[in-house]
Amino acid sequence: MESFRNDGCLSDEGLHALIAGQLDELGRLEAAEHLAYCDKCTDRYTALLTADALSDPPRSVRRTVMGTIWVRLMQ
């Protein structure tokens, strides 16, 4: 597995391996060092980490939340 692309940025495979905890200690250190100065890779990494968190809430929660919002709007 190649953690870095030819342009020096983290590969998609490298980012996924970092998130999954599949990199060895040296790989984690190299990735962390790169993320410390590369805004493009930091943005890609953040997008992968938050993808699930930013998805639509489950239907069971949606009704409760929308009801609360509606009540507060009408006050």
Q: What residues have CB less than 8 Å from 70, skipping those under 6 apart?
A: none
What is the model's pTM?
0.67
- Does residue 44 fall inside a structural domain? yes
User: Six-digit token pair at 54?
Assistant: 């930013």
What are the Cα distances from residue 19, in Å, to 3, 50, 58, 61, 62?
A: 12, 11, 24, 27, 29
Structural domains in the chain (count) = 1
- Does residue 27 fall inside a structural domain? yes
- Does residue 17 fall inside a structural domain? yes
Model pLDDT for residues 22-66, shown as the tens digit of each residue: 999 999 999 999 999 999 999 999 999 887 666 666 677 778 888
- Does residue 43 fall inside a structural domain? yes
- Does residue 3 fall inside a structural domain? no
Containing structural domain, residue 66: 12-74
